[in-house]
Structure 1
Amino acid sequence: MTSRTDFGQQTLGSEVAKVFADQIRGKTVLITGVSPKGIGSSTALNFASQTPGLLILASRTRARVEEVASQIKEAYPTVKLEIVLLDLGSQKSIRQAAAEVSRLTDKLDILVNNAGICVVTRQKTPEGIEQQFGTNHIGPFLFTNLLLPLLRKAGKTNPPGATRIISLTSAGHRLSPIRFSDYNFEGGKEVPPEEDHFKPLAGAFAKCTEDGYNGIVTYAQSKTANILFTFYLQKYLPSQGIAAYTLHPGSILTDLSRDQDEELAAQFYKVAPYWKSPDEGSSTTLVAALDPALNDTKGLYLVDCQFTEPHHHAKDPVAAERLWRLSEELVGEKFALTV
């Protein structure tokens, strides 16, 4: 249980930041996917409002992240702020960004894996991985593991569980488990029933491109991966003082939906009962990152500032182990979580 059961769907992230100001003050915080009008910018502004020791904003587009940085500097001129360029779809960029973060600080108290994409046509990363799986999961997997030494250092001095890894997912994870037999969705392979996506999908959600690509299903797979990744981290990191949580921020009008056509956008409007402002959309991230009461729970996944259960395929320990090994294979490096 969280410490504020009154927090919910319409709670503002700015309110959460004020309530847990002591958990921000003096801390080193890194947020990925920071761009104007998005959840990342609202999350960054709300962290900045309570005097962190260092706020690092990571984004793949310099102009966009600099726009947010300017807003923060204008509102909170005393906050120490750094910018890191990070393209989570490129493993080369990820390694460069992690090295830059290590030059900026020797510890990291809070990592918010906020960045994500949603595309409707088949694309691949430079490494040949399906773009959504590569950017939404493999990217944060590699970035987080490369930053673990900084998180471990913070974990040694912070109260247990105050050092945190927060990863944003989506309620859409329920539509698909990990398709280990065909994670790139290339087709031509027999997919076991337990790996196949939810059927039947209706309307625009069921539409595929001419080459058989369904962006909704591949997005869902990547979001299941976010939860399984966090589930695996929870198995090993608490002994090192590090907590990990994942969350669905809600339905928010951001640039994430810029590739959707009118039909797909209309269907999303039908299934989402409430559309949040970016400030409301950042609230669950801030609860996950800051609420001390979470250290006394077994929770994994939050929605509307409270714990709930993800789909069973997103907390399967066998799938979590398989995903970790597959992820190591795809980045060409093994990571030991035990020390």
Structure 2
Amino acid sequence: MGHRDAIVSQYVGIPKHAFIWNDVFIVSILYKKQFRTYFSSIGISITKHISKMQTALGSLIGPKKELHDLEGRVALVTGGALGIGYEVSRAFASAKAKIIMVSRDEDQGSAAITGIKKYFGSDTVVEWIHCDLGNLHEIKDVFTTIREKEDRLDLLVLSAGINANKYNLDYDGIDQHFGVNWLGQFYATNLLFPLIRRTSKMPSTPAPRIIVESSELHRLAPSATKFDSLDDINNSKLGPTQLYGRSKLAMILGIKYGLLERVMKPNADNIYAIAVHPGAVNTAIQQQWKDAYPGLTGKLLTNASLAIGRSPEQGAFTTLYAATSPEIEEKGWNGAYLSDPGKLGKESSQASDPKLGASLWTLSEDLVRQKIGENALLDWCS
């Protein structure tokens, strides 16, 4: 354990050998019996020290914030009214961008607009639009309207998602993890891409960027993942972390071997697409561990994530870096996977498999056409 870990451990009163960071900590609880046994005895202590831990983490660990001026630019954030997505929306508002937040909960949307305008001024340009990212028909209507209404789209941040949870189907009869975390946002990107491409050709305009929030837990995707059929996706025997990990694997593959290799390179687009890992973050989504693993394990996972996770603001930093830093273009990081601001992540072997990426892209297009119709997808080259 490093020096800063020891400092925080001492600060909150947790034994040094119990202090494990971020996703490594979560995996340990899930797969190592000794950690489950140990934390059953200190779970109450962890919960009591959540607020102290967050205070310590804010000053001692975590990525550094980097945000650049966005005046005159338009940003759309799925899941932009809550958690990491809300912090991204707030940051974009502080940089003077126009913000479009897309999510399901109207109350959260109203509260997000109120909070942003209260903090940055009533003249801040921000709106909220309802859409269920697990409903392809709704996605078609909502994002087609946005494309036709807006004059430009500089930043697309795909932050909506669900955490590891029990197997269930979305509106379209597709595993909810794959449907919400990947397929719905894949379709939204397709419907918005002509607008993004048009923006990239505007005079004196920085290259637009598309950011997806993946996770280090993409490593927990089943080794037998093929992305070759709906039956492969709708495997009810898979556990919550396998389902979640597979959806996050899809995000990395879709950016690198889909958008970059199949769309942007062949069309010489001046557009950047990047996958990021925000870290284990203290947001409401962590409560879903209790549904995924009823009983002690779920409670421990939730409490541990809340206790040692980054704050939502810190969780947004890698996304903000990917969306605005000049280093992305300077270093040629198109299609990259970032584990922290300015730091390339090391993907799993599955996430580096071009054949698996090609299968994912083909399956994604096939599923949208099956559910919506043969003409559902826009031509990526138009």
Q: TM-score, normalised by structure 2?
A: 0.73
Report 1:79-158 matches (<5 A). 79-157=124-202
Q: Does residue 183 in structure 1 map to residue 232 in structure 2?
A: yes
Structure 1 window deviating more from structure 2 (113-122 vs 322-331): it is: 113-122
* Residue 168 (structure 1) aligns with: 213
Task: Mark the runs of 5 or more structure 2 residues left unpaired by the alignment.
Answer: 1-59, 291-295, 370-375
Q: Does residue 292 in structure 1 map to residue 326 in structure 2?
A: yes
Q: Does residue 316 in structure 1 map to residue 353 in structure 2?
A: yes
Shift of 1:119: 4.4
- Give the letter for the 1:230 counterpart: I
* Residue 328 (structure 1) aligns with: 365
Q: Does residue 260 in structure 1 map to residue 260 in structure 2?
A: no
Cα shift readout 1:65-117 (whole Å, capped 9, x = no counterpart): 11111101111222211211111100011112102312431221000000110
Aligned 8 A contact 2:286 2:306 in 1 = no
The Cα RMSD (Å) is 2.3
Q: Does residue 65 in structure 1 map to residue 106 in structure 2?
A: no
* Residue 278 (structure 2) aligns with: 249
Task: Supply the distance in 2 between the matched residues of 1:316 and 1:139 (Cα, whole angstroms).
Answer: 22
Within the candidate set 234, 259, 267, 2:260 is matched to 234
* Residue 222 (structure 1) aligns with: 247
Bigger helix share = 2
Aligned 8 A contact 1:31 1:56 in 2 = yes
Cα shift readout 1:170-218 (whole Å, capped 9, x = no counterpart): 100011153435433436xxxxxxxxxxxxxxxxxxxxxxxx3411100
- Give the letter for the 2:233 counterpart: N
- Give the letter for the 1:287 counterpart: Y
For residue 25 of structure 1, give the secondary structure of its aligned residue in structure 2: coil
Q: Does residue 304 in structure 1 map to residue 304 in structure 2?
A: no
Within the candidate set 49, 66, 70, 1:16 is matched to 66
- Give the letter for the 1:10 counterpart: G
Question: Relative to structure 1, is the Cα distance of residues 113 and 271 closer, same or farther in structure 2, using a 3 angstrom cutoff?
Answer: closer
Aligned 8 A contact 1:84 1:101 in 2 = no
* Residue 207 (structure 1) aligns with: none
Question: Relative to structure 1, is the Cα distance of residues 160 and 273 closer, same or farther in structure 2, using a 3 angstrom cutoff?
Answer: farther
Aligned residues: 300
Task: Supply the distance in 2 between the matched residues of 1:159 and 1:233 (Cα, whole angstroms).
Answer: 24
Q: Does residue 34 in structure 1 map to residue 34 in structure 2?
A: no
Question: Relative to structure 1, is the Cα distance of residues 79 and 173 closer, same or farther in structure 2, using a 3 angstrom cutoff?
Answer: same
Task: Supply the distance in 2 between the matched residues of 1:317 and 1:137 (Cα, whole angstroms).
Answer: 17
Q: TM-score, normalised by structure 1?
A: 0.82
For residue 171 of structure 2, give the secondary structure of its aligned residue in structure 1: coil
Question: Relative to structure 1, is the Cα distance of residues 158 and 294 closer, same or farther in structure 2, using a 3 angstrom cutoff?
Answer: farther
- Give the letter for the 1:129 counterpart: I
Task: Mark the runs of 5 or more structure 1 residues left unpaired by the alignment.
Answer: 1-7, 188-211
Task: Supply the distance in 2 between the matched residues of 1:51 and 1:35 (Cα, whole angstroms).
Answer: 17
Report 1:274-293 matches (<5 A). 274-293=308-327
